[in-house]
Amino acid sequence: MKPEKLSWVTIPLLISVILSILGMLSLPFIGFFMNLIFGAAMNDASTTASDAQALGWVKLFTGSTLWIIFFFSLAWTVFQFLTYRAIQEGKGWARIAAIVIAILGLLNFPVGTALGVFMLVGAFDPAVQEYANR
């Protein structure tokens, strides 16, 4: 039987997964707006050839950074989802992973902090510890 405070771990994990997906979905819009800004700066009359070349490099590195953020976010979201599924099944590693996710979530003020506190309270509940160590 699943412990009562297991939902204190699983629900914040599911909310974190949803928020991560929403964050990843916003990345194309950020790229679009950055392209608009760089395009306007390059077409400005006061932009010299060397400024345009520098803006081209900045545009390249900004786009690359957005792709790197996307792939790291995707990996983090998959890790959170796998942890969510495993903690429901009572796997011991998932409780430790949920604690790590909660501690890192504490840095994400204010929503991540609240979710992290709930996850830590749930993860350190004796019934949840026993369920995860079976």
Q: What is the pTM of this model?
A: 0.87
Q: What is the pLDDT of residues 18-30, one digit of tens each?
A: 999 999 999 999 9
pLDDT exceeds 90 at position 8: yes
* Residue 95 CB-half CA count within 13 A: 20
List the structure tokens of 123: 């993860």
How many domains, the chain?
1
Q: What is the pLDDT of residues 61-85, one digit of tens each?
A: 999 999 999 999 999 999 999 999 9
Name the nearest CA neighbour of 128 among 89, 100, 85. 89
* pLDDT bucket at 43, cuts 50 / 70 / 90: confident
Report the C-alpha dihedral over residues 39, 43, 44, 46, rounded to 10 degrees: 120
What confidence score (pLDDT) does residue 52 get? Answer: 87
**Domain containing residue 55:** 4-132
